[in-house]
Amino acid sequence: MSEPYDPKAIEARWQRRWEADGLYRVAPDPSRPKFYFLTMYPYPSGDLHIGHWYAMAPSDCKARYLRMRGYDVLFPIGFDAFGLPAENAAIQHGIHPYKWTMANIERMRGQLRSMGAMFDWSREVVTCRPEYYKWNQWFFLKFYDAGLAYRAMAAVDWCPRCNTTLAREQVVGAERVCERCGTPVIKKDLEQWFFRITKYAEELLDFSKMDWPERVATLQRNWIGRSEGTEVVYTTEQGDPITVFTTRPDTLFGATFLVLAPEHPLVEKLTTPERRAEVAAYVQRARRQTEIERLAEDREKTGVFIGAYARHPLTGARIPIYIGDYVLLTYGTGAIHAVPAHDTRDYAFAKRYKLPIPVVIAPPDWDGKPLPEAYIGEGVMVNSGPFDGTPSAEGRRRVTEALERAGRGRPAVTYRLRDWLISRQRYWGTPIPIVYCPRCGTVPVPYEHLPVLLPEDAEFLPTGESPLRHHEGFRRTTCPRCGAPAERETDTMDTFVDSSWYQYRYLSPHDPDRPFDPEAGRRWLPVDQYTGGVEHAVMHLLYTRFFTKVMRDLGLVAFDEPMVRLFNQGIILGPDGNRMSKSRGNVVNPDDYVGTMGADVVRAYLMFLGPWDSGGPWNPQGIEGIHRFLHRVWHLVLDTAPGDETPPEAGSPLASAVRRTVHRTLRRVTDDLESFRFNTALAALMECTNALARLRDEGASRTAEWAPALRTLVLMLAPFTPHLAEELWARLGQPYSVHRQPWPEVDPDAVREETITLVLQVNGRVRDRVTVPADLPAAQARDVALASEKVRRFIDGKAVEDVIVVPGKLVNVVVR
RNA sequence: GCGGGCGUGGCGGAACCCGGCAGACGCACCAGGCUUAGGACCUGGUGGACCGCACGGUCCGUGGGGGUUCGAAUCCCCCCGCCCGCACCA
């Protein structure tokens, strides 16, 4: 017996060696095809969680496999280092965010190395360093120059716990809570900076240039929320135009009143003096309500008449104008025309305020009586003047044309997507490079003045205002244009700005002159494979697509999409099947397992749990199976290492059985790795190991095929268990390093079946199995089936109606 | 309400793409070996019901129902259940 498998000693030793040799440093090799493999960079929370391992170990396995397949693989890592936890730590424990973050990063670097991943650390990015965030500011200015960054007053989402505004994407669920901390958000009126992502709404709906999971495409499509319809222009009796958006212009003749959002800019102007008090009260009430209240289900549709009237664009009818909080300022034009007969919300409103409900689309079998509820389906237009008798679909087109001819409307497309609010009232982020001058107004900081440094000495008080606002040295500056005293913007950028382009910075992380080296860009871009959680579908993954399109339009890149392929791994759950959380006490600490069983065991177990995209509970007992497996491999390889044997037999059945076993496994493992099926790849490797152990007991280790078989087995294990494979490779007397070896080729002769098990069925039920030559002709297979004793027992005395022969597989005898 | 996904042993899962031996691989469990004993380790067994001393065999079985087919976990239709996303979006 060889010495026992001691992962602790092996892993530490090889990690040092790999590090010293720069084994994973990427030096572009033009003779090989490139492959940019990117896994989402972690937030430096301080501890490498099992979830990080679950995200990274299989990615590393695949990246290693691709490297062995001959690709020049770029597999970088970095840290998403700006963000709230660092600032909260500063408030709670008095540690400076920079110190806190850097200490965490240092700790996580060690933990990441313990995983044995082939990250190229020389390309590490840390987003809170000026050499990184300078380029956030550079992009901001480029966006500003291109009209894609603007400042506007808006009713924005505010998290009272995080004390900052949030982007629409960062407010989640029906409860409208903060994506980070789960606190219900409130609305505030603030002047904030936005990125004009809506300009790219249409293009962002095009997923044809990449291979992403349909699920993510669907989430983004829903989020962007394109809807086609018509803009209709009403005119108030005071002469103001009010534009509304409708997807059902065929119902235009049923519009009986207008409803404006309470915050609509025209409300003030249009409200008649005698309605003013009531309207003001309603607006006040609407403003005070939280999002939750305003969006509560089955809520009564309320509103107030403002005393003004508009004229219907086609009939000239006099139409009262209301305000109502079911109309959202942020969607469409912030105003609607109500067609109570054909819209449930308008119907409820009309009923409540006793407004007329004229039917203009005849429901099937309509008796001409008032409707008991809104009919929202299609039908034939009625009570619609010249359009009577027109079906809905055609009516939509014709009514829109009529509006266009009259100069009262046009076809329009509306999106649910909002511009990206990037201002954050927090310290630990990228300063927005803008100066406010009393004389020149809003002035961008000149490029040559970048970076605008985040001052180190800030006061951290949980006041709800950015510490920068109280930092006189930062706030007070001079106007870059006129030199007069001026003030800096004190808000910082959303950290999703950092992650929108980090994949480009990896190409030349220390480049002082450009966000990235364009030559390196031509070599490596775009990202070939991206992996990460689906929870970023409408945040990070949408933002980075937007950034790439802007970069393309700025001439920085020559492609349309940042990542060609995307894979979403699942979530690893606690042993109790719940999401891991400290409060539940079900958090699995990978370091414990790494310390006892080794990193290879943890890596392999995470890959073996199940399909990578489904996640699942961590079963503490299950890891024993992988532990045992690696022990079996260790002893299989070492206890039968060549040296002592009797002369090898050539071409014996045992030898070809060894070769067939290994090459069939190779075929399976290769296919599985191509499609991220790590669990079945490992199952195949287990079967292979078990089969080889049995063959050895029959004497197979004395054949000439045994040593090559062990080498192939070790090569196949290399992406999964890099340390174990390196150790075994060395002990087999092979040259360093196993991770520089090519992936073995499947030998088609070796896997060819000589004999197969032919399944014999009667009426579709298995009755017998016989071993026959693989190339047995159909006619003979049929004879074999009919000759089978067990088959005959079921067909004797019955009429054989048909015999189905599937060559190489089965014969089905059909009897009556 | 709209959109998407998923239902297979005690458990995680495999076979589903492309119809052809259901339950690979592993956990757990059971039996045996080793051990003073337990653990660890090794070997074997393990979907259910039934027949048989045994070799073995029969029937049932992939959420439920129906269909297509020589043959369905797999394809089609309906239903049930669970999960996720969006949700007054005009």
Q: Which nucleotide is nearest to A215 (CA to C1')?
A: B4
Using CA of residue A108, residue A113, residue A117, residue A119, what is the dihedral sign?
positive
Residue A185 has pLDDT above 90, yes or no: no
Which residue's CA is nearest to the C1' of nucleotide B41?
A628
Name the band, by pLDDT with cuts 50, 70 and 90, for residue A131. very high
Task: Using the structure, give the distance in angstroms from the CA atom of A800 to the C1' atom of B67, rounded to a whole number.
Answer: 26
Do the strands A810-815 and A755-762 form a parallel or antiparallel pair, or are they unpaired?
parallel
Return the DSSP state at A198: G
Q: How far apart are CA A325 and CA A762, in angstroms?
A: 70
Last residue of a domain, one of A496, A513, A535: A496
Task: Using the structure, give the distance in angstroms from the CA atom of A566 to the C1' atom of B84, rounded to a whole number.
Answer: 19
Can you give the CATH number for the domain in which A371 is found? 3.90.740.10
Q: Which of A286-300, A405-419, A740-754 has the weakest average pLDDT?
A: A286-300
Q: Which nucleotide is nearest to A247 (CA to C1')?
A: B90
Q: What is the pLDDT of residue A643?
A: 47
Q: Which nucleotide is nearest to A259 (CA to C1')?
A: B90
Can you give the CATH number for the domain in which A455 is found? 3.40.50.620
Do A405 and A427 lie in a common domain? no
Q: How far apart are CA A390 and CA A393, in angstroms?
A: 8
Q: Which of A256-265, A473-482, A768-777 has the weakest average pLDDT?
A: A768-777
Q: Which nucleotide is nearest to A297 (CA to C1')?
A: B88
DSSP annotation string for A628-681: HHHHHHHHHHHHT-TTSPPPPPSS-HHHHHHHHHHHHHHHHHHHHHHTT-HHHH
Q: Which nucleotide is nearest to A629 (CA to C1')?
A: B26
The residue ranking higher by pLDDT, A775 or A725, is A725
Last residue of a domain, one of A448, A477, A496: A496
Q: What is the pLDDT of residue A646?
A: 54
Q: What is the tens place of the pLDDT at every residue in A769-814?
A: 888 888 888 888 888 888 888 888 888 878 888 898 988 888 899 8
Q: What is the tens place of the pLDDT at every residue in A489-506?
A: 999 999 999 999 999 999
- The mean predicted confidence, pLDDT, of chain A is 90
Using alpha carbons, list the distances in angstroms from residue A64 to A118, A318, A440, A488.
7, 72, 56, 48
| Strand-pair partners of A302 | none
A196 falls within a domain: yes
Query: What residues contact A347, with CB distance under 8 A and at least 6 apart?
Result: A340, A341, A357, A373, A374
Mean pLDDT along residues A455-470: 82
Cα A440 → chain centroid = 42
Task: Using the structure, give the distance in angstroms from the CA atom of A769 to the C1' atom of B61, rounded to a whole number.
Answer: 21
| Strand-pair partners of A164 | A159
Task: Using the structure, give the distance in angstroms from the CA atom of A62 to the C1' atom of B55, rounded to a whole number.
Answer: 48
Task: Identify the three-state secondary structure at position A310.
Answer: strand
Q: How far apart are CA A82 and CA A164, in angstroms?
A: 15
The residue ranking higher by pLDDT, A669 or A780, is A669
A399 falls within a domain: yes
Q: Which of A507-511, A747-751, A754-758 has the weakest average pLDDT?
A: A754-758
Q: How far apart are CA A650 and CA A55, in angstroms?
A: 46
DSSP annotation string for A552-621: HHTTS-S-S-SEEEEEEE--EEPTTSSPP-TTTT----HHHHHHHH-HHHHHHHHHHSS-TTT-EE--TT
Do the strands A177-178 and A171-172 form a parallel or antiparallel pair, or are they unpaired?
antiparallel
Residue A8 has pLDDT above 60, yes or no: yes
Number of independent structural domains in chain A: 4
Task: Using the structure, give the distance in angstroms from the CA atom of A617 to the C1' atom of B9, rounded to a whole number.
Answer: 19
Residue A415 has pLDDT above 70, yes or no: yes
Do A380 and A488 lie in a common domain? no
Mean pLDDT along residues A726-749: 94
Do A324 and A409 lie in a common domain? yes
Mean pLDDT along residues A262-272: 91
Do A407 and A300 lie in a common domain? yes
Rounded to 5°, the CA angle A591-A593-A597 comes to 130
Only one residue has tokens 């449930």, namely A344
Residue A294 has pLDDT above 70, yes or no: no
Do A391 and A242 lie in a common domain? yes
Q: How far apart are CA A291 and CA A666, in angstroms?
A: 57
Cα distance between the two ends of chain A: 61
Helix axes A599-608, A50-68, angle to 10 degrees: 90
Return the DSSP state at A17: H
Domain containing A449: what range?
134-222+419-496
A505 falls within a domain: no
Can you give the CATH number for the domain in which A702 is found? 1.10.730.10
Q: What is the pLDDT of residue A644?
A: 47
Task: Using the structure, give the distance in angstroms from the CA atom of A435 to the C1' atom of B47, rounded to a whole number.
Answer: 73
Q: What is the pLDDT of residue A650?
A: 59
Mean pLDDT along residues A392-409: 93
CA proximity to A480, closest of A432, A436, A441, A445: A445
Q: Which amino acid is at A698?
A: E
Residue A510 has pLDDT above 60, yes or no: yes
Mean pLDDT along residues A749-753: 84
Q: Which nucleotide is nearest to A326 (CA to C1')?
A: B88
Q: What is the pLDDT of residue A651?
A: 66
Task: Using the structure, give the distance in angstroms from the CA atom of A627 to the C1' atom of B33, rounded to a whole number.
Answer: 22
Do A283 and A405 lie in a common domain? yes
A581 falls within a domain: no
Q: What is the pLDDT of residue A648?
A: 53
H-type alpha helices, A249-369: 266-270, 276-288, 291-295, 344-352
Which residue's CA is nearest to the C1' of nucleotide B40?
A628
Do A207 and A285 lie in a common domain? no
Q: What is the pLDDT of residue A290?
A: 54
Q: What is the pLDDT of residue A289?
A: 65
Q: What is the tens place of the pLDDT at every residue in A518-552?
A: 999 999 999 999 999 888 888 999 999 999 999 99
Do A367 and A257 lie in a common domain? yes
Q: Which nucleotide is nearest to A244 (CA to C1')?
A: B90
Q: What is the pLDDT of residue A177?
A: 80
Task: Using the structure, give the distance in angstroms from the CA atom of A695 to the C1' atom of B33, rounded to a whole number.
Answer: 22
Name the band, by pLDDT with cuts 50, 70 and 90, for residue A297. very low
**A387 contacts A395 by C-beta, under 8 angstroms:** yes
A470 CB neighbour count, 10 Å cutoff: 14
Q: How far apart are CA A565 and CA A653, in angstroms?
A: 44
Which residue's CA is nearest to the C1' of nucleotide B58?
A767
Do A255 and A360 lie in a common domain? yes
**A159 contacts A185 by C-beta, under 8 angstroms:** yes
A684 falls within a domain: yes
Q: What is the pLDDT of residue A798?
A: 82
Do A348 and A216 lie in a common domain? no
Return the DSSP state at A385: G
Last residue of a domain, one of A727, A751, A775: A751
Question: Which chain B positions have some atom within 7 A of a protein CB?
Answer: 3-5, 11-15, 20-22, 24-28, 41-43, 57-59, 70-72, 85-90
Q: Which nucleotide is nearest to A685 (CA to C1')?
A: B25
Q: What is the pLDDT of residue A583?
A: 79
Rounded to 5°, the CA angle A787-A789-A790 comes to 120
Residue A642 has pLDDT above 60, yes or no: no
Do A733 and A798 lie in a common domain? no
A185 falls within a domain: yes
Task: Using the structure, give the distance in angstroms from the CA atom of A552 to the C1' atom of B6, rounded to a whole number.
Answer: 39
Which residue's CA is nearest to the C1' of nucleotide B88?
A326
Q: How far apart are CA A549 and CA A557, in angstroms?
A: 9
Q: Please determine, for the modelled complex, whether the ipTM score is greater than 0.90.
A: yes
Q: Which nucleotide is nearest to A764 (CA to C1')?
A: B71
Q: Which nucleotide is nearest to A810 (CA to C1')?
A: B20
φ, ψ at A657 (rounded to 5°):
-65, -40
Q: What is the tens place of the pLDDT at every residue in A195-241?
A: 999 999 999 999 988 889 888 988 898 889 898 999 999 999 999 99
Which residue's CA is nearest to the C1' of nucleotide B70?
A814
Task: Using the structure, give the distance in angstroms from the CA atom of A307 to the C1' atom of B25, rounded to a whole number.
Answer: 75
Can you give the CATH number for the domain in which A759 is found? 3.10.20.590
Q: How far apart are CA A4 and CA A774, in angstroms?
A: 43
Task: Using the structure, give the distance in angstroms from the CA atom of A64 to the C1' atom of B15, rounded to a whole number.
Answer: 28
A383 falls within a domain: yes
Q: What is the tens place of the pLDDT at every residue in A314-344?
A: 999 999 999 998 888 888 899 999 999 999 8
Task: Using the structure, give the distance in angstroms from the CA atom of A116 to the C1' atom of B74, rounded to a whole number.
Answer: 39
Write out the two tokens for A741: 């070896």
Write out the two tokens for A442: 């809003």
Q: What is the pLDDT of residue A757?
A: 82
The residue ranking higher by pLDDT, A615 or A432, is A432
Query: What residues contact A99, with CB distance under 8 A and at least 6 apart?
Result: none
A264 falls within a domain: yes
Do A202 and A159 lie in a common domain? yes
